[in-house]
Amino acid sequence: MDYSYPFSMDWNTEEIVDVVSFFEGIEMAYEKGISRDDMMARYRKFKQVVPAISEEKTYFREFEEESGYASFPVVKELKASPTGPNIKMKK
């Protein structure tokens, strides 16, 4: 991993940790899979830090440009399968 995670200098340490944890969950969804409950918990914390859709899209785009991992398909799958045990994406 030779990339950085997007974050705002206005966030406190806990908020940065929550956002990084969310993006790590995105990575796991593509690499080995992640439990739906774990990913949902990470997404909820992310949304507490980044509540605006426009801001969310900006961070998703920045992360995809840096890492190659698209966040939106993972979130879409997360919302579409409310009872599935795991989320595993194909890159």
In a domain, 4, yes or no: no
Question: Would residue 13 count as lying in a domain?
Answer: no
> Is 40 within a domain?
yes
Does the residue 54 lie in any domain?
yes
Phi, psi (degrees; rounded to nearest 5) at 87: -120, 125
Domain-embedded: residue 58 = yes
Domain count, the chain: 1
Who has greater pLDDT, 66 or 3? 66
Tell me: pLDDT of 40 over 80: yes
User: What pTM did the predictor assign?
Assistant: 0.93
Average pLDDT over residues 63-82: 92
Asked whether residue 49 is domain-assigned, the answer is yes
**Pairwise pLDDT comparison (85 vs 52), residue with the higher score:** 52
> Which amino acid, residue 61?
R
Task: Indicate the helix (H) or strand (E) that contains 58.
Answer: helix 53-67
Mean pLDDT of 37-55: 97
Question: Which domain covers residue 50, as residue numbers?
Answer: 34-67
